Amino acid sequence: MSIKYIDGIDVRGKRVFIRADFNVPLDDKQNITDDNRITETVPTIKYVLDHGGAVILASHLGRPKAKVVKEMSLLPVAQRLGQLLGTQVQFVDDCISDEAVARAQALKLGEILMLENLRFYGQEEKNDPDFARKLAAGAEIYVNDAFAVSHRAHASVEAITHFVPVVAGGFLMKKEITSFEKAMLKPERPLTAVIGGAKVSGKLEMLENIISKVDRLLIGGGMAFTFLKAQGKEVGDSLVEADLIETAKTVMEKAAARNVVLLLPTDCVIAEELKAGATTKTVSVDDIPKGWKGLDIGPATVKAFSDAIAGSKTVVWNGPMGVFELPEFSRGTFAIADCIGNAAIMSIVGGGDSVSALKKSGNQDKVSFVSTAGGAFMELLEGKVLPGIKALDV
């Protein structure tokens, strides 16, 4: 890819349209409860301001389904951003109206204008060119700093790039892409992928892509039981996707053919019901009784996985090892988070559940890079070309 980034273009005297991801959580009083997605974009915004440009900001928030939803307004984001930057962030209550276009075109150097929620219009998610043309009307440069939505061919991500003469990635986009490339395309080896989550079906394309790239593949979470079933084990009432048992066999065969070390759980924490306070047992995966479900990896598996991680030079983690939201089934996931956080390795973590577990375990600041994306990170692991990144490849 030959992507230009913002520090490689001249923004002086220009109005720069920055597509950010300000999809932050709000409480019932419109207070932002986690401003990480705002702070991550601050360096890109400051770069434009410090180098003599003006900034037009656009984002979505929530799923308003093509109608104005007051509770999904970006006004609280504009106010919080102003506090972080120590300057006024102007706000307009639309994104393509005559007023919005006029205010964007009238921006003075050093000023910031935030447009209202893009998804108040259905044309955004339809990648509508007329909508994109109106968004671009006030801009001379387009910068995508929203990696998290770059797997979507939306108007503010893809179509808009056809109406602005200069396009580039922001600093957050640069961190996401270069970290992924370092981990998956040019890794220090051994390269280990730790993959978890509930279902094989949600990770199938990923598994098929990374099996040719990694040296070790550790599979945990609910999806592991489909693989264990494919080995002929009885797994009680654990989650099994019967239609993917043959696929699991194929993945294991491909791993063996490529000399990839594939580790599955050897023990697990089981319960009759998935609920807080459930009675649990730790058993071998060969001894799961009928009526019981495997809901977390056990200590022997934690040890085996941790040894594999500690012996690696690069680790990519996507997906929890169990139902970590409940204390009874969280120990395996948190133990793996601790191991990755404390190991002297290049480590990249992506996916909403993995990042959440990383935060809860106190390891967020210990890994090399935490992706801000869920779906986009998954699609990169699947080997797909993301529309938002392709649009920057000039």
Residue 344's pLDDT is 82
Q: List the chain pLDDT tens, one digit each, 394 residues.
A: 689 999 999 999 999 999 999 999 999 888 999 999 999 999 999 999 999 999 999 999 999 999 999 999 999 999 999 999 999 999 999 999 999 999 999 999 999 999 999 999 999 999 999 999 999 999 999 999 999 999 999 999 999 999 999 999 999 999 999 999 999 989 999 999 999 999 999 999 999 999 999 999 999 999 999 999 999 999 999 999 999 999 999 999 999 999 999 999 999 999 999 999 999 999 999 999 999 999 999 999 999 999 999 999 999 999 999 999 999 999 999 999 999 999 988 999 998 899 999 999 999 999 999 998 888 998 999 999 999 999 998 7
> Which residues on neighbouring strands pair with residue 26, listed in sequence order?
32
User: Is 144 in contact with 170 (CB distance < 8 Å)?
Assistant: yes
294 and 270 Cβ atoms separated by less than 8 Å = yes
- The class (CATH top level) of 6-172 is alpha beta
pLDDT for 1: 63
pLDDT at 394: 74
Backbone angles phi, psi at 187, to 5 degrees: -80, 155
Sign of the torsion formed by the C-alpha atoms of 133, 139, 142 and 144: negative
Q: Give the Cα separation of 238 and 296 in Å (integer).
A: 11
Every domain range in the chain assigned CATH 3.40.50.1260? 6-172, 179-381
51, amino acid identity: H
C-alpha to C-alpha distance for 257 and 238, rounded to whole angstroms? 28
Catalytically active residues are: 37, 199, 352, 375
If phi over 0 gives left and psi between -120 and 50 gives alpha, with beta otherwise, what is residue 89? beta
**CATH class of the domain defined by 179-381:** alpha beta
For 15, how many CA atoms within 13 A lie in the half-sphere containing its CB?
Answer: 21
Q: Give yes or no for a cis peptide into 265 (omega within 30° of 0).
A: no
Q: Residue 141 has what pLDDT?
A: 98
